[in-house]
Amino acid sequence: MVTLTIDNETYAALSKQAAAHGQSVEEWLRSQSRASTAGLTAEAPFGDQMAKLFSKIGLTDEESIPELKGQAVRSPEFD
């Protein structure tokens, strides 16, 4: 992460914080970034979210619709 437009006042404040922790500004910012993101987890993929959301409702195992993967595509027939 490169910050080119940081004002002197902010940099001085960061330097004081880093020195208080015995670190360089760069290392202190890295440690703060790690700490602030440590508890974050990635979102589940959309399909997994939908499956979880609708898992309590919908078709039963007896009513399930067979998977069509690998079957040839057919046009519908209308009477």
Tell me the average pLDDT across 7-29.
Answer: 92
What residue segments make up the domains of the chain, in order of their start? 1-54
Measured on CA atoms in the order 8, 9, 14, 15, is the torsion positive or negative?
Answer: positive
Residue 40, pLDDT above cutoff 90: no
Alpha-carbon distances, residue 27 vs 5, 15, 18, 32, 33 (angstroms): 19, 11, 8, 9, 10
Q: Does the pLDDT value for residue 61 go beyond 90?
A: no
**Long-range CB contacts for residues 28-33, cutoff 8 Å, separation at least 24:** 29/1, 33/1
Contact between 21 and 28 under an 8 Å Cβ cutoff? The reply is yes
- pLDDT mean over 19-31: 92
pLDDT of residue 57: 85
User: What is the predicted pLDDT for the residue at 74?
Assistant: 87
Average pLDDT, the chain: 87
